[in-house]
Amino acid sequence: MVAPARPRAVVLLCALALLTTTSCGYRFPGEGTLPGGATRVHVAKFENRTRDAGIENFLLEAIQTEIVRRGQFTLESDRSAAQLTLEGAIVSIEKRPVAFSSSDEALQYQTYVTISAVLRDTGSNKAVWRIAALREGESYGATSNTVVTDSPDFLSGSTLNPQDIAQLSDVQLSESQERDALERVFRNTSRDLYNAMVENF
């Protein structure tokens, strides 16, 4: 009759460990709080320091979507209604080839985006949090034989379907894949920016 007591003891130890970590303030990433316990946030359009016109609009939409998706804070369209305002800049966009054919044709590219951001107290305009350089990257195929149509990224985020690929030139395909990769970069940037703000990284 001693053996059945072991699983019970293990369960009790696990429960005690969970209780201990909870009481010590452990939480999952992205479940922290904003500086000063703020709950109302306004997101200003980021300054675009690159030559890619209009990408600041896509970043703004991605950040707003992330805040709404998390549901922890109220997104205010009017700056004066918010306790904190998030603003910043798209510092750079880089695109570099990372794989080549035997004839030196670029087969795959990596695109990187770097942003800076600051949270300001809306009333005083004082900076309460900032990040100097948040950098994210994504790769994409530039030719039809390098696009993996059954990959999670393609299936969930591509604007193309497998039938489209055969109809496009390599230039058209590369441009489409670059746009899709940039959207993924902005989604990932928004996710990591949110986590950094609430965890005070």
User: What is the predicted pLDDT for the residue at 20?
Assistant: 43
Percentage of the chain modeled with pLDDT above 70:
68
Q: What single-letter amino acid sits at 12?
A: L
Residue 26: is its pLDDT beyond 60? no
Mean pLDDT of 69-74: 95
Residue 198: is its pLDDT beyond 80? yes
CB proximity list for 55: less than 8 A, separation 6 or greater: 48, 90, 93, 182
Q: State the DSSP code for 33.
A: -
Mean pLDDT of 129-137: 96
Mean pLDDT of 168-184: 77
Residue 196: is its pLDDT beyond 60? yes
User: Which residues span the domain enclosing 101?
Assistant: 5-199
User: What is the predicted pLDDT for the residue at 159?
Assistant: 61
pTM recorded for the entire structure: 0.73
Query: What are the tokens at 114?
Result: 């770097």
Q: Which residue has the tokens 């497998």?
A: 162
User: What is the predicted pLDDT for the residue at 93?
Assistant: 95
User: What is the predicted pLDDT for the residue at 178?
Assistant: 85
Q: In this predicted model, which residue has the larger pLDDT, 174 or 79? A: 79
- At 157, give phi and psi (nearest 5°): -130, -5
> What is the domain count for the chain?
1
The DSSP line for 134-187 is EEEEEEEESSGGG--TTSHHHHHH-S--HHHHTTS-HHHHHHHHHHHHHHHHHH
Residue 46: is its pLDDT beyond 80? yes
Mean pLDDT of 110-135: 96
Residue 145: is its pLDDT beyond 50? yes
CATH number at 187 reads 3.30.160.150
Residue 61: is its pLDDT beyond 90? yes
